[in-house]
Structure 1
């Protein structure tokens, strides 16, 4: 009887069990769990791929910036000025006297450039001019003055070494303007050190290419200084008194009439 209640024989002779769950209920949980795990793994894979792409994107941009900044730091600073001599200041060695050196400074930029001198010995050295503003392709010969200390420890005159150094700095400016030292303080982040010049002594009694060149530069510097001292030539009409224009033909006529009166000839 128990067998009759728990089992039922079909027409095909097979016995179906009423205690077991239907096939769709027994198989659905496992199928849904596998599907869920599949979607979970796919989502995890997509998330990992997204993270990899983001990291690759960051790695693509960061090295380029790093390489660019590194390349800029390794590249030499572009000079705004051309110096002659390029890295030395030659002085004639005359102990106990104030001697002079000269250096040509030329603006090689397409814009106006201000320059400024500095020295480690401001009490015994000075520059003329100490700074200025140069137009594109404009050049100037600066004169540097230095007092030469007497030799110590019986050193030979030409072997005496000087620890004094000079520094030339540059700054791009907007157009033509008057030079003021405060320019370099206000825009200190834009200032470039063009060159640090060391002192080299020359024997004034011996003719060398460096000594001959120094003499030429000093002569040119003096000529340029005298030219700047001269007043500008008058190109317009001359004015006398309270704005009266003196006409050359009028002067000639007055001189002619005065001559006629002296000779006794009546004027018309």
Structure 2
């Protein structure tokens, strides 16, 4: 083809035998315009590919920083998995006795497979306190906590039973390692791992009117007092009794006395 472009033949017959292929027999202007369009499309495709590659590169650099954000958002959307089972589950019942300090009780059980620390918080720390205020439960362990509250006199001097109190209690949980000792600072050091188990509302009961809730409260308070007295008692010593400078009294002392008496008898006979 390059030879034909340099020196076209003068003979018509030779020219007819060396015709250009059919794909180049079209108008030169149309072929040049189509080639120009092809080049334009190619340049556009290259630009688009460069843009895509730049976007992919920026996405790759930002993927590490966005992964933590996405995971935290996903964790916040998931329902909180309970570590503790509470009884009662949503309310704290107090006998209504104005001008006195009354008690409530709640049973807390660790239903998870790990050690769990729990902690109480209240909106009225001046008039309420808990015993114990916190602790660590092994898997399957339960405890009955006692809550104390001072009941103020009503302003209108009328008895208001079953009134809606603004005081609330919050129970929080934290998964901890086995063998760790409980300190309240654990919940400040690991804020991201703390779960709010329940927010309990205070409900007053008529102390003079029998009810199922009041009977249950009395039973739980009795169990809590019995458990507290059991913890106060010193542990029983199941080992041998030690006196003096470490001599073991029991059968070992008796054997030694019999041996010495026997030695004295044999010495007297030999003399």
Q: Same fold (TM over 0.5)?
A: yes
The answer (yes or no) to whether the contact 1:151–1:160 under 8 Å persists in 2 is: no
Is residue 2:26 matched to residue 1:38?
A: no
Match of 1:219 in 2: 222
CA distance in 1, matches of 2:165, 2:12: 122
Tell me, what secondary structure is at the counterpart of 1:164? strand
CA distance in 1, matches of 2:124, 2:11: 123
Is residue 2:97 matched to residue 1:84?
A: no
Match of 2:189 in 1: 186
Per the TM alignment, residue 159 of structure 1 is displaced from its structure 2 partner at its CA by: 4.4
Higher gyration radius (CA): 1
Judged with a 3 Å threshold, the aligned counterparts in structure 2 of structure 1 residues 160 and 251 are, in CA distance, closer, same or farther, namely farther
Per the TM alignment, residue 140 of structure 1 is displaced from its structure 2 partner at its CA by: 0.5
The answer (yes or no) to whether the contact 2:100–2:150 under 8 Å persists in 1 is: yes
Per the TM alignment, residue 125 of structure 1 is displaced from its structure 2 partner at its CA by: 0.9
Per the TM alignment, residue 41 of structure 1 is displaced from its structure 2 partner at its CA by: 1.4
- 5 Å-filtered alignment, 1:162-173, equals 162-173=165-176
Is residue 2:111 matched to residue 1:108?
A: yes
Q: Could you list the per-position Cα deviations for residues 87-130 of structure 1 after superposition, in whole angstroms to 9, with x for gaps in the alignment?
A: 11000111111110000011111111111111111111110000
Match of 1:96 in 2: 99
Selected match of 1:239 from 232, 237, 242: 242
The answer (yes or no) to whether the contact 2:162–2:205 under 8 Å persists in 1 is: no
The TM-score, its normalising length taken from structure 2, stands at 0.72
| Structure 1: runs of 5 or more not aligned | 1-9, 14-23, 255-267
CA distance in 2, matches of 1:129, 1:65: 37
Tell me, what secondary structure is at the counterpart of 2:203? strand
Is residue 2:143 matched to residue 1:148?
A: no
Match of 1:134 in 2: 137
Q: Could you list the per-position Cα deviations for residues 157-195 of structure 1 after superposition, in whole angstroms to 9, with x for gaps in the alignment?
A: 314442211111111111132211111111122211111
Cα RMSD between the aligned structures? 3.6
CA distance in 2, matches of 1:158, 1:197: 18
The TM-score, its normalising length taken from structure 1, stands at 0.72
Per the TM alignment, residue 72 of structure 1 is displaced from its structure 2 partner at its CA by: 4.1
Is residue 2:160 matched to residue 1:157?
A: yes
Match of 1:230 in 2: 233
CA distance in 1, matches of 2:99, 2:51: 76
